[in-house]
Structure 1
């Protein structure tokens, strides 16, 4: 077996820790760029619409590349895909930094950068996800995804702060930092030496996976993975819950901003309230290992949206501009547990040679509704007010929990059950 033995502590699994450290560098660079891109475009063009166009380009590229990336990861050398995609990200950042330094960066430069970065991110994400399964024993998957979730939330807390500080120094500084972070991620991925083609684990045989995916067309391979996913009772219902949560949660940030402003809160106070999302997420990630060990995945899929719904309705109370900080902090404390559980059961249940395709299908399903959430949230906040928009989103989460609770399959669902 390529993975470390179950008796070896995860902290001593060198390949996973190198892979995780590389992902941490990559996440930090991504979060720095997420803040720096709109700031730079606003400074260079003065157009918020152009900043939005670049963000939309990145999301669209990431979405469109998901299915091809999943198929390639299942077909070909995963280590080579990971390193090649990260190398292109480094070159992409070098080109943008060079354009900025030469004073020739305009809208087209940023659009091309975002498009290439989105495509690369799809390949990197799929290859890295499959690599975790390859180097971590099944018994330690939940612990590995706890560490992954902590990395993600830490990046969301540190990245914007570092990006804002660097941008205050110069326009070029955040992009140089991103370049260094992505280059470090490539080096760490190289040192991790993840298996090129992980050996199938016990139980993967007879699962309906195609034994020779490279000889089939992309549509046929995608259809095979989709058919397998739709046939998995429990995992199928979990996917629907996650899709609904992404939809109802998409407009929460905008509704919060409108609500806080309506209560007289300024931009500084709004920023303080929104830090509750990052702080709560990081604390929740650290506690998610214990929670997922005690509560089944199915019950988390019911309990988490219920808690989110209640928290959003509490946040809508017009008590004071600072009040939403506390329900939003609580909101963010519980979400990492469901993310960890979903990631672990997916890695455990999906056949080895189908991980890339199923992972890409899950990402597309999740991201496919992502643009609708902010759109609906903006319309509701603009017409009814931020507080009512929060209440409606909260009701959507409660409805999701209620519909899910009606499914005996979801209530009983767990990877080991």
Structure 2
């Protein structure tokens, strides 16, 4: 059975990739438990859509401030050691949330402060992780590695929210945070067991942590039209269509589904993403990747409109699942393009520059969604956001012939 799986999923032939793949699956499940619990916790404490949207603001500021530095660190230092440090810090943050909640001392200010600290750590973690992965598998297996990572992440994204919903239904908020703190052990153990990867690409000039190194990464991104348009499309789509922060409002006040229903709704995008990731993992090399990205983002915006307009639980769930499926197709193709058009010695800085937009978009989108929800209500906030996404993808399609013609060569 294992040999059949390795034949269909060649990235699994790499021991180092298998270790990181398994460790991240455990960690993602814990992270999703915390994410779901955090939004529910904040809504319980404040009852305010603006307070929910503000989570996006406290996340995006550290990402913008530290991401470029994080990319330079990822290119100048041993990425495995960087990841060991960042994973340990994030485990400590989760444990602090658990302790404060257990003691009954937590406030919205604590949640915002610890969320900001976690976002700053992610600004160093993500460039190192994304730049580290291509060195674990041969170049021709990298797209398969991304698809496999998406599959396992989405399984974890299904199990994590559902587990959190069950715990929330029994008033066990602290347990969600403790579970996340423990889950980081999976990645830390994997990193300790990974053997130093063998880089097969030509040797690159050594990188240093300096302003000139940061500018070199930015100059490379700006000089590559495919990178520019995929990053811009990602930012615009997620800015307008970020509905996840408002899920507690939909579960509690629109669909009247309670904490268990909230957990099920939170798992819906991952269910759709799992199906899309499995399809892509078992699909031969995809041509006309640029056109497929545009259609995937169009489907994402349309599904967002349907979710915002729905008052039926099963239809809302299906719409969220469709957003997850569409987003996964776009994410895998965009991630493959970005990593493969970027030289090894620039991958950390390219990822950091991209991260400002692909993480900044949804975080600023959460703030926008919260403010609009306070003005015209959560359903109309989501509907107008979906329409904005559709308009954005139409504009990019019209202005970016390089993306429309991109075939993946």
TM-score w.r.t. the length of structure 1 is 0.81
Aligned equivalent of 1:213, options 200, 207, 216 = 207
What is the CA–CA distance in structure 1 between the aligned matches of 2:97 and 2:88, rounded to whole Å?
14
Aligned equivalent of 2:350, options 358, 374, 392 = 358
Q: CA deviation at 1:311?
A: 3.3
Higher relative contact order (CA 8 A, sep 6+): 2
**3-state DSSP class of the match of 1:294?**
coil
Aligned equivalent of 1:183, options 158, 182, 185 = 185
**Number of matched pairs:** 398
Match of 1:284 in 2: 276
Matches within 5 A, 1:362-381: 362-378=354-370, 380-381=372-373
Listed one character per residue, the Cα deviations across residues 117-136 of structure 1 (whole Å, up to 9, x for unaligned) are: 32332322222211111111
Given that 1:99 and 1:105 are in contact with CA atoms closer than 8 Å, whether structure 2 keeps it comes out as yes
* Cα 1:266–1:232 shift into 2, 3 Å: same
* Cα 1:370–1:171 shift into 2, 3 Å: closer
Match of 1:31 in 2: 32
Match of 2:199 in 1: 199
Query: Quick check: 345-354 or 49-58, which moved more?
Result: 49-58
Q: CA deviation at 1:150?
A: 1.7
Match of 2:340 in 1: 348
Listed one character per residue, the Cα deviations across residues 217-273 of structure 1 (whole Å, up to 9, x for unaligned) are: 2x22222111111111222222221111111212477499669966xx423597455
Listed one character per residue, the Cα deviations across residues 265-312 of structure 1 (whole Å, up to 9, x for unaligned) are: 423597455543232122222212356733432112221122234434
TM-score w.r.t. the length of structure 2 is 0.82
Given that 1:241 and 1:301 are in contact with CA atoms closer than 8 Å, whether structure 2 keeps it comes out as no
Query: Quick check: 293-302 or 138-147, which moved more?
Result: 293-302
Q: CA deviation at 1:91?
A: 3.9
**3-state DSSP class of the match of 2:315?**
coil
Aligned equivalent of 1:339, options 331, 339, 351 = 331
Listed one character per residue, the Cα deviations across residues 20-47 of structure 1 (whole Å, up to 9, x for unaligned) are: 112122212211222334555677x667
Aligned equivalent of 2:257, options 260, 267, 274 = 267
What is the CA–CA distance in structure 1 between the aligned matches of 2:403 and 2:361, rounded to whole Å?
22
Match of 1:410 in 2: 403
What is the CA–CA distance in structure 1 between the aligned matches of 2:97 and 2:266, rounded to whole Å?
30
Query: Quick check: 106-115 or 285-294, which moved more?
Result: 106-115
Residue 139 (structure 1) aligned with residue 132 (structure 2): no
**3-state DSSP class of the match of 1:413?**
coil
* Cα 1:33–1:311 shift into 2, 3 Å: closer
Match of 2:87 in 1: 86
Query: Quick check: 79-88 or 52-61, which moved more?
Result: 52-61
Q: CA deviation at 1:345?
A: 1.6
Listed one character per residue, the Cα deviations across residues 94-143 of structure 1 (whole Å, up to 9, x for unaligned) are: 55555566666566655554343323323222222111111111111111
Match of 2:163 in 1: 162
Q: CA deviation at 1:152?
A: 2.7
What is the CA–CA distance in structure 1 between the aligned matches of 2:52 and 2:401, rounded to whole Å?
46
**3-state DSSP class of the match of 1:173?**
helix
Listed one character per residue, the Cα deviations across residues 158-202 of structure 1 (whole Å, up to 9, x for unaligned) are: 21222233453645422332222112321111112343xx63615
Match of 1:3 in 2: none
What is the CA–CA distance in structure 1 between the aligned matches of 2:249 and 2:223, rounded to whole Å?
41
Match of 2:4 in 1: none
Q: CA deviation at 1:11?
A: 2.0
Given that 2:237 and 2:301 are in contact with CA atoms closer than 8 Å, whether structure 1 keeps it comes out as no
Query: Quick check: 103-112 or 86-95, which moved more?
Result: 103-112
Q: Determine which structure has more spread, i.e. the larger CA radius of gyration.
A: 1
* Cα 1:356–1:19 shift into 2, 3 Å: same
